[in-house]
Structure 1
């Protein structure tokens, strides 16, 4: 019970406003223990996922007995709130810890523009089973999230091209029809006139023959 109380007190020893300074100085206070954090930078588009990694190391004479690992995100005003306390990450993060190597990774899903920032891992560890617990911080990861630039969909391009082609085809078809009508209009008129003249000639010839036959028949009577 005493160990847990001291552990909690060590975790809350420094106010949050000084936590960043503690993280940066911790590696120099205890030179035989170091924290590796990677990647140093990460760039993603909105909607993508990312994973940040952290691991603590010690020399052979140092025994890391127990650790608590937390992840923080540095805000614009310099504060370092825990990831689990930020509403913007609720339901979009997972922390995984390997107790055998005291390594940890932070997975963020469905990234948003306001997720951009610097992320730190922080260790509260018992060294050689000696109280109080000591604090060690990672070097940080700069995460940049950009607006996704969507390329035009193939279906949209096909539909657009098809529409333009159809309109051009209709216009060309209309022009062809008008050109054909204008081209054959004189020929059509000539054909109509020729048919009319032939019909008129045949009709006149028939009338003449009929009249001549009738006149000849009357004379014989």
Structure 2
């Protein structure tokens, strides 16, 4: 067990989640070599972590999650990392992104994203390397977008992306952040994460081309989840 908090300060569900994480440690240790060689976490491991409830730590209870405190989340994720560093990193990234999204996004978007049968797992990049975005009738068109590093991208269901790029900052321009929620099915994962450590964190670059965000439409390739 970790030592940031004591058992008597945990609720019953927090204690159970911590025990779930502890029980996973020897299981995760068996996958160390495979995770490094494949440079992502195997689906069977992701499923095991999901079944233990460890992708639902900080997100609000009204979305079917556990809403544990940040301190308790750190304790639980630290336990996961004892089994494998890459798994611990991905678990904390996804939980952190889910927590941020659930507090930051407009309620109608959150309801659309979280009230679905599939478990929600966000990756995010809040500063693009390159984006060319045009205002069009009814919304926006991303002509070309490139983001890095999207930790957990191969295990995410949604991406939380800033449509402003680093050139804006370099030019000294102050712009309101433009954020978008994009299904991972509509993003190309650029397999460029080659490192000496955390090889399995899948911190790949993300790419989009010719992607439209239009409101009140049923056209294909449309994501109505852009907000400013």
- If the TM-score is normalised by the length of the shorter chain, which range does it land in? under 0.3
**TM-score between both structures, scaled by the size of structure 1:** 0.26
Higher Rg? 1
Larger proportion of strand = 1
Q: Which has the higher contact order (CA 8 A, sep 6+)?
A: 1
